[in-house]
Structure 1
Amino acid sequence: MQVWAVPLAMALGLGLGGTAVPPIDPPADPARLARQLAAIQSGWPQPRHPVPPPARGVDCAEVKCVALTFDDGPGEHTGALLDVLAEHRARATFFVIGVMVEENGGGDLRRMVAEGHELGNHSWSHAQLTALSRDGIASELDRTQKIVERETGVRMVLMRPPYGATDGRVAAESRSRGLSQILWDVDTLDWRDRDSAVVVRRAGEAAPGSIVLMHDIHRTTIDAVPELLEDLAAEDYTFVTLSELYGRKLTPGKRYLRR
């Protein structure tokens, strides 16, 4: 047996000098043995928190980048959106609502992390933060920080105020929690106009460095994503997370609308 096969064979229960338990025919190549091992391990307890993929070497000062962002989820259509993004090898940023995470159970968020997407805080209940007291703002942010970290192990460093409504108090509470405020420069208005063609057209107005606002709770938006990805890819855009877009640590509390 080749040296590479020894640890895998032991994990599979293959005897090196006797009968294999369970009996598995020796594979013809390492890939087959790895698949057999993965099949057996699929029944093992999995780590609670996902392992993100390695950081990509994307320099948005050199290539055309656009950051697609999705608010208000996770919802019933989020899984389908993740399928589309994976098919196109596109990364995005999801600004999640705490109560939606609580209802979802965290499964979609763990998949987001595992597939290289970025998570941001969009408050607990989508309250207009400027209408709340300092304590109210703090509660909206803290509860969402805690549930996302519990479910994914990720401590978010980005936030988006619901409705884009912010002021000095929101900035101060965000700053004290290490959260930068992310707004946008391209608004698809997909929440108002539930028309996939309209969403595609408006997203197509993106320029290098744009932050595009959409919502993963609307089926019409998810239906628009394949075409808008194809259209922007044809213009040589790379789909990046917000951290990739800026390529540096952002200032907590500060507002950002585009690169």
Structure 2
Amino acid sequence: MQPIVGTAPALPARPSVPIDPLHMARRLTAMQADWPQRSRIDCKKAKCVALTFDDGPGDHTTRLLDMLRRHAAKATFFVVGQMVAADKHHNVRHMVDDGHELGNHSWSHEQLTTLSDAGLRYQLHHTQDVIERETGVRMTLMRPPYGSTDASVAAETRREGLAQILWNVDTLDWRDRNAATVAKRAISAKSGSIILMHDIHRTTVDAIPRILDTFSHRGFTFVTVSELYGKPPAPGRKYTER
């Protein structure tokens, strides 16, 4: 995804649909019921892989969520704030409902290392706010667009309570729009890997059934990034794999 330049867009005054307290209560109950089972996953011993998806939500995200749900697979979505604000399907709510993890991927996908302190703060903080308003979740993970980070980004992520999550397997799905190629690169991952993909590309979502089937056949468990480490990653610190 190319950076979006120009004046930073104004944050919407409120989510497009008000948060339903009953919906939130049901979601919290479901998360509490699911946690004992999820917390028993020990990725020091089990074969675990973290599927991560950047730049969305997009036109193909709903289909991806359906695929993950059918496989009981958990993933981590690094979402772009302005994409969330424009998403009429409220996919981030469904991500949370299904037990996926959300991460901050900036407001408009700009290279954070080129921004002023104020611009950097805007990119992270406003995305935090729009996600919290939409889902009730305050994110604890972020991924810098293009993987571009420096001391200033690290300092701001510490202030915002965000760990920097990079990757060790890059499917290059943004460049090679071929499902078979994307799947082949993904399934080369070893246990403990963080795999980079983008749910804005149709060909990436087309690759997901093969990726899920192959890893499942090999006895892998699909976990969120936090589950991969067994505890919340530390704010400001960079992570690439377990």
TM-score under structure 1 length normalisation: 0.81
* Structure-2 residue corresponding to 1:118: 101
- Cα distance in 2 for partners of 1:248, 1:109 equals 22
* Structure-2 residue corresponding to 1:246: 229
Shift of 1:48: 5.1
Residue number among 182, 204, 225 corresponding to 1:221 in the alignment: 204
Shift of 1:100: 0.2
* Structure-2 residue corresponding to 1:178: 161
Q: Is the 8 A contact 1:68 1:241 kept in 2?
A: yes
Shift of 1:130: 0.3
* Structure-2 residue corresponding to 1:203: 186
Residue number among 31, 37, 47 corresponding to 2:22 in the alignment: 47
Which range is displaced more, 110-119 or 48-57? 48-57
* Structure-1 residue corresponding to 2:151: 168
Q: Does 1:78 align with 2:53?
A: no
Q: Could you say what secondary structure the match of 1:47 adopts?
A: helix
Which range is displaced more, 101-110 or 204-213? 101-110
Cα deviation 1:28-58 (Å, max 9, x = unaligned): xxxxxxxxxxxxxxxxx77353435222121
- Cα distance in 1 for partners of 2:117, 2:90 equals 31
Cα distance 1:175–1:46, how it changes in 2: closer, same or farther (>3 A)?
Answer: closer
Residue number among 87, 90, 96 corresponding to 1:104 in the alignment: 87
Q: Is the 8 A contact 1:196 1:220 kept in 2?
A: yes
Shift of 1:251: 1.2
* Structure-1 residue corresponding to 2:46: 63
Cα distance 1:59–1:117, how it changes in 2: closer, same or farther (>3 A)?
Answer: same
* Structure-2 residue corresponding to 1:33: none
Cα deviation 1:41-99 (Å, max 9, x = unaligned): xxxx7735343522212110110000000000001110000000001110000000000
Shift of 1:122: 0.1
Q: Could you say what secondary structure the match of 1:213 adopts?
A: strand
- Cα distance in 1 for partners of 2:69, 2:115 equals 38
- Cα distance in 2 for partners of 1:90, 1:185 equals 20
Q: Which ranges of structure 1 fall in alignment gaps of 5 or more residues?
A: 1-44
* Structure-2 residue corresponding to 1:30: none
* Structure-1 residue corresponding to 2:9: none
AA partner of residue 186 (structure 2):
A
Q: Let me know the Cα RMSD of the aligned residues.
A: 1.2
TM-score under structure 2 length normalisation: 0.86
Q: Which ranges of structure 2 fall in alignment gaps of 5 or more residues?
A: 1-19
Shift of 1:105: 4.1
- Cα distance in 2 for partners of 1:105, 1:141 equals 22
Q: Is the 8 A contact 1:99 1:125 kept in 2?
A: yes
The structure with more radius of gyration: 1
Q: Is the 8 A contact 1:106 1:152 kept in 2?
A: no
Q: More relative contact order in 1 or in 2 (CA 8 Å, sep 6+)?
A: 2
AA partner of residue 192 (structure 1):
R
Report sequence identity in percent: 58
Q: Is the 8 A contact 1:191 1:218 kept in 2?
A: yes
Cα deviation 1:234-259 (Å, max 9, x = unaligned): 11110000111000122110000001
